[in-house]
Structure 1
Amino acid sequence: MRYCMGVDVGGTSVKLGLFETEGKLLDKWEIPTRKENHGEQILPDVAASILEKLEERKIRRKDVAGVGMGIPAPVDSEGVVQQTANVGWGYKEVTRELSELLDGMRVEAGNDANVAAMGEMWLGAGRGEKNVVMVTLGTGVGGGVIVNGHMIVGQHGAGGEIGHICVNREEEDACGCGLHGCLEQYASATGIAKLARKALSGEHEETVLHGEPSAKDVFDAVKAGDALATRIADEFGRYLGAALASLAVVVDPAVFVIGGGVSKAGPVLIPFVEKEFQKRAFFANKDTKIVLAELGNDAGICGAARLILN
């Protein structure tokens, strides 16, 4: 039997998974992300946890194909991170350091959104396909692009930063990245909430929305047939659908997988995106599927493990 490990580094916890190389998840667990002193204990903690699990399971190191890791930052093709926002690292040679801590075991690393896309391709909503784009709609908008089964990393490790496609050249407010009119300003949870506040600030019909509604409130109201909420969802769908049409003509995926917290609204959000996508898509891309992610919080460990099998 051959095994591989998947590691998903987050700001609060590190998720780990033990897999058979055929894709069966045998075990998953978490450890705290110790960010003090610039996160110097994160990789030693990960290594110790992996070695403990192998000992517990009586798995020989030679039977482990390797360890894959998803990191919340751009990661270059050598497994080097220049800086992270959430775990305290500056420049760090992640794959080299973890491999040394694991006595030479093979280690591969990638940006967490790209890795999650790899997970959905392998075991989730993109299963059976080799060309997949995942869009994660959370506090921000992240993304991962898989072409012919391989992640698009790019020169600077920033391939797949879908949230910073410009979708509104007239926007005066700045995105968190410093640019203006980014997709993240309209399709993230915070962006949808902002669209809702704007809609409520003007004259409008009766609505169940009030105060400062969240993205969840908006889509709950859509499900209840609320007209104003439906208009807000239409606006969200116009921005996201247009961005996906632009992406499709560049990377030509078989499927767009929509994940992240906003996707928990369920199938109700897909038609809003499909409507604008079909309106704007190049004719060769019109049969591209738009579906909801399936793996939830396991996407990261699944995709990280899959890095080892490429």
Structure 2
Amino acid sequence: MILAIDVGGTWTRVLLVRRDGSVERREKIRTGADPVGDAARLADGWDFEAVGVGSIGPMDLRTGWVTAAPNSPSSRFPLVDPLLKFKKPIYVANDCVAAAWGEYVLGGWGVENLAYLTISTGLGVGAVVNGHLLLGKEGNAHELGHAVIDIQGGVKCGCGGLGHWEALASGANIPKYFKTYAERLGRRPPDVRTSEDVFKLYREGDPLAQAFIDHWLDVNAAGIAVITAAYDPEVLVVGGSVALNHWDIFKAVEDRLRKYTPLTPPAVERAKFGDDEVAIGAAALAIEPPDTLKKFGYPRGV
């Protein structure tokens, strides 16, 4: 049994996962300033053989810390130290990297090149290329949520950068960008507080919301073209609440990819593990540890 921890911008999920990927137990708590410490306290008394953590980033895998998370109650927090008390092997990766590995190991796709995209509170990417999980020098090789999609609009991301994909398309940023988009058109936007408000207007036939979501689909198609150029995946697995709750809308990005890339685009497929996506990926890090993670000194704690 694996203790699997998913640290998100809004929720931290704590699961017990069997080696076949099935879930024995799951709990969910609000993400706080010390989310892994909170998860460790929740799991006191649970029976498991190893720990996997998938967390928002950016992070430094060598120190085992998140270093500058833009969508979290605390921008810096430890990923490894709160778990050392269990004296079990500990494996850590970025949340989307973990999800990519989980889909590769347990998703049954049957490919060697797979990328994972989440559009949720934030936006992130992970990739497996020729069977190798890509990590980079600190574990942040996948931070394409901060790929620059727009150099003219001046829309600021939570990290401080301008024109980032996440700033234009993630759940936390859609309401603000919708208002900016309306102002560019000389329109007064309706009062929207969440991404769900914008999608509700879209489904009700509001012309401004429909124009915005059409633009949002192009933004995501451009971002997927970046993923295609970077990793050349056979399959792009998409998760996250914004994409999954509006899959009938989001799936249209597949028809737009040819506008943005000359390469053979990947098949765009729905993630298989729903809300458990990152936690299952975290478990997969312990079930079948990737060679690239071992180079950072994992597992820790033993």
TM over 0.5: yes
Partner residue, 1:116: 99
SS in 2 for 1:237: helix
State the distance in 2 between where 1:210 and 1:155 align: 44
Partner residue, 1:176: 158
Q: Tell me if structure 1 keeps the 8 A contact 2:66–2:77.
A: yes
Instruction: Map 1:146-157 to 2 at 5 A.
Output: 146-157=128-139
Larger gyration radius, structure 1 or structure 2: 1
TM superposition shift of 1:144:
2.0
Corresponding position: 1:270 with 2:232: no
- Structure-2 change in CA distance of 1:34 and 1:275 (3 Å): closer
Q: CA RMSD in A?
A: 3.2
TM superposition shift of 1:34:
6.0
Partner residue, 1:57: none
- Structure-2 change in CA distance of 1:266 and 1:21 (3 Å): same
Partner residue, 2:53: 69
Alpha-carbon deviations, 1:245-270, whole Å to 9, x = none?
Answer: 12212201122223223211222222
State the distance in 2 between where 1:106 and 1:123 align: 20
User: Which of 207, 214, 217 is the equivalent residue of 1:237?
Assistant: 217
TM superposition shift of 1:49:
4.6
Number of aligned pairs?
284
User: Which of 102, 120, 136 is the equivalent residue of 2:86?
Assistant: 102
State the distance in 1 between where 2:32 and 2:205 align: 45
State the distance in 2 between where 1:121 and 1:307 align: 11
Contiguous gaps of at least 5 residues in structure 2: 290-302
Partner residue, 2:17: 19
State the distance in 2 between where 1:72 and 1:239 align: 22
- Structure-2 change in CA distance of 1:203 and 1:99 (3 Å): closer
Q: Tell me if structure 1 keeps the 8 A contact 2:67–2:75.
A: yes
Corresponding position: 1:52 with 2:32: no
- Structure-2 change in CA distance of 1:31 and 1:262 (3 Å): closer
SS in 2 for 1:189: coil
SS in 2 for 1:170: coil
Alpha-carbon deviations, 1:184-232, whole Å to 9, x = none?
Answer: 222123443344324544467xxxx833374334333444555433321
Q: Tell me if structure 1 keeps the 8 A contact 2:36–2:83.
A: no
TM superposition shift of 1:24:
2.1
- Structure-2 change in CA distance of 1:151 and 1:87 (3 Å): farther
TM superposition shift of 1:241:
0.8
State the distance in 1 between where 2:36 and 2:212 align: 41
Q: Tell me if structure 2 keeps the 8 A contact 1:175–1:184.
A: yes
Contiguous gaps of at least 5 residues in structure 1: 55-60
State the distance in 2 between where 1:32 and 1:194 align: 23
State the distance in 2 between where 1:229 and 1:99 align: 45
Q: In structure 2, give the amino acid aligned to 1:69.
A: V
Q: Tell me if structure 2 keeps the 8 A contact 1:172–1:180.
A: yes
Q: Tell me if structure 2 keeps the 8 A contact 1:137–1:187.
A: yes
User: Which of 26, 29, 41 is the equivalent residue of 1:28?
Assistant: 26
- Greater helix proportion: 1
- Structure-2 change in CA distance of 1:178 and 1:11 (3 Å): closer
Q: Tell me if structure 2 keeps the 8 A contact 1:145–1:159.
A: no
Alpha-carbon deviations, 1:153-203, whole Å to 9, x = none?
Answer: 211222211111111121234322222211122212344334432454446
- Structure-2 change in CA distance of 1:277 and 1:191 (3 Å): farther
- Structure-2 change in CA distance of 1:265 and 1:170 (3 Å): same
Q: In structure 2, give the amino acid aligned to 1:180.
A: L
Instruction: Map 1:95-244 to 2 at 5 A.
Output: 95=80, 97=81, 100-103=84-87, 105-123=88-106, 127-201=109-183, 202=185, 210-212=190-192, 214-244=194-224
Q: Tell me if structure 2 keeps the 8 A contact 1:267–1:292.
A: no
Q: Tell me if structure 1 keeps the 8 A contact 2:148–2:165.
A: yes
State the distance in 1 between where 2:174 and 2:75 align: 31
SS in 1 for 2:46: helix
State the distance in 2 between where 1:87 and 1:231 align: 33
TM-score (norm 1): 0.77
State the distance in 1 between where 2:250 and 2:19 align: 34
* Overall identity of the aligned pairs, in %: 28
SS in 2 for 1:211: coil
